Amino acid sequence: MLSRVARSGAARAGFATAAASSDASSPGVRGAFRTVVALGLAGATAFVVEDTLNDLALWRICRNRAAPVIDAHPRLRRSLGTPFRSEAWWNSSVATRGRGNLASCVFLVDGARASCDVQVTMIRAPSRGVAAYLPNLARNLANPEAWRVSRMEAILPHEREAGLPGRVNLLQDPEPKGAVLDERRKGNRRRWLRWPRWLGGGRNER
């Protein structure tokens, strides 16, 4: 009987010791869990912030490359009216591909009479060495001149029949091809109109 009581007391003592040790270790487990969650949230926040700032950097590069072309383009000046103003970067669209070496940016340009979308596509050579392991934001801030514009287009309103928009290659077409052909036809028509008068004038002088 005494031995049974002794074994029961020992078992209860061991259970109490295990419970005490479990209670003692539970704050450490909770602290470690909180640390992991905090680090995960910090990493996700840093990723979102870096991605947002990288879009802002690419938007500034695209806008700075496109601004001189837009300001000097005669077709845009006639269609939109001056002065021009670019919308804020959060109203623009920025996309990257190819490990960040291909970027496309679409932003809105407001004129005195109308607005249009401008799309700029840029490419750059892949980085080598240590620069290949840097974040895209650091590479864009350190060397924005590495980007080369491969395409720059504007979609002008009411440029075609029935009010359809017209796509303009800002790097190649300063004037619409239809207008150039019309001017050539008008010039040829004026030459043919002047030719009989010149012949008639010659006969009268004789």
Tokens of 20: 């005490």
Please state the rounded mean pLDDT for residues 6-19. Answer: 46
Asked if residue 27 has a cis previous peptide bond (ω within 30° of 0), the answer is no
Q: List the one residue out of 101, 105, 132 whose CA is nearest residue 117.
A: 105
Write out pLDDT tens, residues 174-200: 554 444 434 444 444 444 444 444 444
The total of structural domains in the chain comes to 1
Task: Output the pLDDT for position 164.
Answer: 55
* pLDDT tens-digit map of 29-76: 777 777 777 777 776 777 778 889 999 999 999 999 999 999 999 988
From CA 94, how far away is CA 58, in angstroms rounded?
Answer: 7
- CATH number for the domain harbouring residue 154: 3.10.450
Taking the C-alpha atoms of residue 86 and residue 92, their distance in angstroms, rounded to an integer, is 10
Q: How many residues does the chain have?
A: 206
pLDDT score recorded for residue 48: 77
List the domain range (segments joined by +) for residue 141: 57-193
Residue 16 is assigned to a structural domain of this protein: no
CA angle 177, 178, 183 (to 5 degrees): 100
Do 58 and 105 contact (CB within 8 A), yes or no? yes
Lowest-pLDDT choice from 9-13, 46-50, 169-173: 9-13
Cα 58 to Cα 140: distance, rounded to the nearest angstrom: 7
Q: Is residue 8 part of a domain?
A: no
- 31 domain-assigned: no
| pLDDT, tens digit (0-9, with 9 covering 90-100), for 77-114 | 988 888 999 988 889 999 999 989 999 999 999 999 88
141 located within any domain = yes
